[in-house]
Structure 1
Amino acid sequence: MSLKDLPTDAQPREKLLARGPAALADAELLAILLRTGIVGKGVLQLAQELLDPPANDGSGGFGGIAGLLQASSDDLARIKGLGPAKCAELIAVMELARRALAQQLRTREAFDSPDAVKHYLQLHLAHKRHEVFAVLFLDSQHRLIALEELFRGTLTQTSVYPREVVLRALHHHASAVVLAHNHPSGSVQPSRADEVLTQTLKSTLALVDVRVLDHIIVAPGQALSMAEQGLV
């Protein structure tokens, strides 16, 4: 069924304007953004399929709004019905979400809203297919100065260089940092190497009076704070 075949008060755009965005299901909100479906598949069906769980063979959807917003351009391009224009719109929405969270973290103490820190890092790192080590540099009020991706690959003491982290902290005149990396495997449980790396960086940064507040591990749809686990 196409949107024009729905009763006017059930069409997503009209429903949003009349009742507000909270009244719409995820697929309805996504349908407004997509605007049109493809031959033989209405926009609501296309939207729902994008939100469906992924299949074992790599087909299927992205497992919800969070998974969709963490998808790369290559992930989006494999979906029939998502041409360059629709892919660009979805990527733009993802970037707007990143920037909105970054603005929030720059204007208030980061740990007034720990969930915002996790969401911000998820949007930046969770969709990547390789491990990335990043650092949030914070000022003396724990407001965000910058996020930098510093290293790629399997994270060990030998692949993450403490000297480089110290130099970047000094460059930003940071008073504190939040360490972060992703687990492409989907598990956010810290490994022994994660724990050792955290303590190494904590000791090294302490020499220049920079505190390590947390080390957050992210994966699609989830994030873990090592500080909350007593590991920092």
Structure 2
Amino acid sequence: MTKPLGTKTGLAREGVRALRERFRHGALEGFLKHEVIALLLSYSAPSACGAQAVSLTARFKGIRGVFDADPHVIQKECGLSASCAVLIRLVRELCAAYLLERVIGSDVIRSPKDTLDYLAYTLSGERVEKFLAVFLNAKGEALAVETLHEGTVNQTAVYPRKTIERAFKHNAAGVIFVHNHPSGDSTPSTLDRQLMATLERAASAVDIMVHDHLIIGRNRHWSAIENGRFAAAPRGIGRVAAAKESGNN
């Protein structure tokens, strides 16, 4: 049975030491959710990390919710210090940077898992809409991933000219467009479909292949290729991912 983390005001010194020893010997295996957060916070506020970890994981329903939460909210509602909030944000951003390094230079079309993992990690918990482009070379390898717009994604906000200019900057032969739905529902709206058509026409006019348009929701994504949107791009990321998932069943 897991021992209590400590008093209501924090984690006893021996409790912090025990958590760190458990991690050294077995990573996070067997850790409860609040213990994971307590271990992290112990490097910034060891005297209060136990109670704060319990409060955070209860308020935000787990580790994922804690890392997706607005740092200002977790400070205000859970009494975290600024340094603890920065530490949580730093770990999240480090994970994103690690995942992005796995994407750049990889064959996004034939092996889309790393790209989908990165997009899901960075977008599924976002509270605002973001529009991204994954620029590819002629081999389908990722050259860059750029956020082109934040806020409501529509035809007036996402300018085709800017998208094409960035593609030229990277000497890209292809592109995958991506945006998220903060609601968690990845189903495309009428405006989404209009945007896809506008961007596809703009890219086609300068011989840039649109390999897919992805919409990231909560725990799922929608792929234009997988749903028959871009018949001219037979190697879309969504279609390859769907085929691999089907083959594993």
Return the TM-score normalized by structure 1: 0.79
Q: Deviation per CA, 1:164-194: give whole Å up to 9, x if none.
A: 2111111111122121112222322111221
Matches within 5 A, 1:72-151: 72-151=70-149
Identity %: 30
The amino acid across from 2:145 in the alignment is: L
Question: 1:50 deviation in Å?
Answer: 2.2
Q: How far off is 1:104 after superposition? A: 0.3
Cα RMSD over matched residues? 2.8
Whether the aligned pair in 2 keeps the contact of 1:37 and 1:46 (CA below 8 Å) is no
Question: What residue is the counterpart of 1:193 in the other structure?
Answer: 191
Listed one character per residue, the Cα deviations across residues 73-127 of structure 1 (whole Å, up to 9, x for unaligned) are: 3333333232111111111111111111111001321245434323322343344
Stretches of structure 1 lacking an aligned partner (at least 5 in a row) = 53-59
Q: Which amino acid aligns with 2:153?
A: L
Alignment of 1:51 with 2:49, yes or no, is no
The residue that corresponds to 2:21 in the other structure is: 14
Deviation at 1:15, TM superposition (A): 1.7
TM-aligned CA distance change 1:177 to 1:33, over 3 Å: same
SS of match in other structure, 2:175: strand
Equivalent residue, structure 2, for 1:56: none
Matches of 1:212 and 1:79, distance apart in 2: 44
2:165 & 2:64 partners in 1: Cα distance?
A: 34
Would you say the 8 A contact 1:126–1:182 is kept in 2? yes
Cα deviation, residue 155, structure 1: 2.5
Letter in 1 for 2:57: L
Which residue in 2 is equivalent to 1:218?
216
Deviation string, structure 1 residues 20-62 (Cα, Å, up to 9, x no partner): 33332333222210114776xx61x53243233xxxxxxx21x
Letter in 2 for 1:176: G
- Tell me what 1:55 maps to: none
| Aligned residue in 2 for 1:67 | 65
In the comparison of the two structures, how many residue pairs are matched? 220
